[in-house]
Structure 1
Amino acid sequence: MRESIIRTLALNAALGYSPTRVQLLLGLDVKDSSIPVDHKIVLSVLDELKQQNLVVEFHGRLALFDYQDQIEAGRLNELFFPRKLRRARWTAGYLSKLPWVRAVSLCNTTALGQARDGGDLDFLVIVKAGTIWRSRFFSALPFALLNARPAVFDKSNAKKDPVCLSFFVTDENLNLWDFSLPEDDPYLRHWFLSLMPLKDDGVMCHFWDQNHVLRQRHPLAKPWIALSGHDYSAGGKLKYSLQNSWLEGFLKRLQWKRFPKVIREMANQDTRVVINDRVLKFHVQDQREKFRQDYRLICQKYGVDP
């Protein structure tokens, strides 16, 4: 358990995040899934690590000793979370009214409650098969018109809490393992476990089951609970007035032409930018490899295998 705790805190340190005890347990990385895990034993070993000054705990947060400054930095960022969550819930409310959208989840540091003041609101959107292009078009349209999307290059005029709709998957393509880095992808594992579903019609249960490989190193992980279900009232969903297949093809061609050159060049070269009829993933500035290197260095520093 000692290595598992240090390994988990090393992953969080690489992210610049300090978890609570509950988050430590839910994200505990035992590496060998055959090892039985008891949360009481984990907490007992954690207390021993604190006595050895390898781990510190204050304000209800945990960190490796050399990364304890991240606790205070995270507390400062928590001040922005209520504002960001209100904005995120409003966004998810709009997206969930599109007839093709099945689930909307908040991602990354905002889902953890510690995003920077100027940080984006990143979303994962699950849509019905055969509708990904129309789903993205009508999802992004109002935010594009309001100039409320992230400024990739010039952030001088960027609005607060821009809405980043950079990851869409269809309900026939819920397994994310194909997008994982070779060998291991600690960031993707952590990203998956830390999702915050804001709207869900029930598909997130299948999403959890389909990604058992991503969570096999985390035996104490629990399925998410959405903050809100979909609105199935008479006026809850926009009517299916735009179902024709010609519309899907037309919006596919239109959006492809409007993609920035860098996205078209990077498309389907690796797992950073993936563009097809089942997945739209636009992570141009993908930092997973750097994160993995940082994580491995921290593990090495504390004498544990990543």
Structure 2
Amino acid sequence: MKISVRDAWLSALCYADIFDFPLTKEEVVYWAPRRILGRLRRADFSGLCQTQTIGETTYWALRGRTRLIARRRRREICFREKWQQATTAARLLRWIPSIVCVGVTGGVAWKNADQADDIDFLVIASKGTLWVTRFFSTLILDACGFRRRPGDTDVQDRICLNMFMSERTLSVPFHERDLFTAHEVLQMQLLWDRHNTFSRFIHANRWVKKYLPHAWGKKTQNSMRQLADKTLRQGRISLWPKSYHARRKTFFASRLLDLVLRFESCVLRWFERPAKIGQLWYMEKRRSTEVISDTVIRFHPVDARVWIKLKLASRLRKYNIPLDKIFYAS
């Protein structure tokens, strides 16, 4: 995709502006739809965007939108409580052996949620356990008072289980690959995973580097770093001398836990078909725009891709930037 540095910079700001989210310079580079190398001068964007420095942080926004900086800082304070709520709820889901990854998506993942907002979860299930995983996830979070229920008006800090994926198909379907989905993939924040599922999810969707090359590079580096840190914590590699027996005991304990979890997941597969039939029957009169298949269950009352594309087009038009070049990397 050939695009000038100016257009890449403005495109990143335009996309973030849809969500009332000014960016720092590092974030603009991170979310730019092309690689930006070298130094950039504010004079190059005179009359197109504005900056404001608070403390040691300089924020960039489209012209006339610097008032959003104060809103972003307020939302960052809200994020701390929401993240704590998310980690607490995610720990409960560890009891379900068929879950191999839990992540936060949506506004909370971008530290851009208001106090009254809920928290979106993406759950990845082991092969052949998609529906039974959803059943037990809903049951546990509902029983503990964490889940957002259909029809709730007060959804503050509630967990919205709006997407389940099977590890059998971690890559996004070809017809959904665009800038919107690339953002959703790379914005996801990991809460916990098993069997390096998060790293496999990122690499299965390496097509996103065509849309957001900087973000893709950083995300893969972070996922590899998290994998290395996890390996060290599990005791499979030691930077310091350790007794042979201690290392062997830690290794076998970890392997035994993996085998137990895999066995329990196999048992749950026996209940997959009745769980699917029962939930589809319950959802029959309530279905609207859900996406349901053998590998994905996705609940979104409104297709965000549609309105985000329209708002992005209106912003890019002001700077004579073609939408298709940015949204579809054409």
User: Separation in 1 of the partners of 2:317 and 2:43?
Assistant: 20
1:258 correspondence with 2:258: no
Change (3 A) 1:261 1:19: farther
Partner of 1:214: 208
Partner of 2:124: 126
1:5 correspondence with 2:5: no
| Per-residue deviation, residues 159-196 of structure 1 (Å, max 9, x unmatched) | 5311011111111211113462xxx7432222222111
Kindly name which structure, 1 or 2, has the bigger radius of gyration based on alpha carbons.
2
Question: Within 5 A, what are the aligned runs for 1:237-276?
Answer: 240-241=263-264, 243-259=267-283, 261-263=285-287, 265-266=288-289, 273-276=290-293
User: Separation in 1 of the partners of 2:11 and 2:285?
Assistant: 39
SS at match of 2:121: strand
1:290 correspondence with 2:307: yes
Partner of 2:189: 196
Asked whether the 8 Å contact 1:96–1:104 carries over to 2, the reply is no
CA shift for structure 1 position 287? 2.2
| Per-residue deviation, residues 98-137 of structure 1 (Å, max 9, x unmatched) | 2111111111110111211111110111121111111111
User: Separation in 2 of the partners of 1:16 and 1:152?
Assistant: 27
User: Separation in 2 of the partners of 1:23 and 1:127?
Assistant: 31
The structure 2 residue matched to 1:278, chosen from 273, 295, 298, is 295
CA shift for structure 1 position 53? 5.3
| Per-residue deviation, residues 267-300 of structure 1 (Å, max 9, x unmatched) | xxxxxx2212211111122222011100110011
- Is the helix fraction higher in 1 or 2? 2
Asked whether the 8 Å contact 2:98–2:261 carries over to 1, the reply is no
- Unmatched runs of 5 consecutive residues or more in structure 1: 31-36, 267-272
Partner of 2:165: 169
SS at match of 1:15: coil
Identical-residue share of aligned pairs (%): 23
Question: What is the total number of aligned residue pairs between the two structures?
Answer: 285
User: Separation in 2 of the partners of 1:54 and 1:19?
Assistant: 11
The AA in structure 2 aligned to 1:278 is T
CA shift for structure 1 position 17? 1.4
- Unmatched runs of 5 consecutive residues or more in structure 2: 235-252, 324-330
Change (3 A) 1:83 1:172: same
SS at match of 1:67: coil
Decide which moves more: 60-69 or 273-282: 60-69
The two structures have a TM-score, normalised by structure 1, of 0.83
The structure 2 residue matched to 1:26, chosen from 20, 27, 30, is 30
The AA in structure 2 aligned to 1:94 is L
User: Separation in 2 of the partners of 1:278 and 1:98?
Assistant: 18
The two structures have a TM-score, normalised by structure 2, of 0.77
User: Separation in 2 of the partners of 1:136 and 1:151?
Assistant: 14
CA shift for structure 1 position 154? 4.4
SS at match of 1:220: helix
Asked whether the 8 Å contact 1:170–1:278 carries over to 2, the reply is yes
User: Separation in 2 of the partners of 1:251 and 1:108?
Assistant: 27
Change (3 A) 1:255 1:235: same
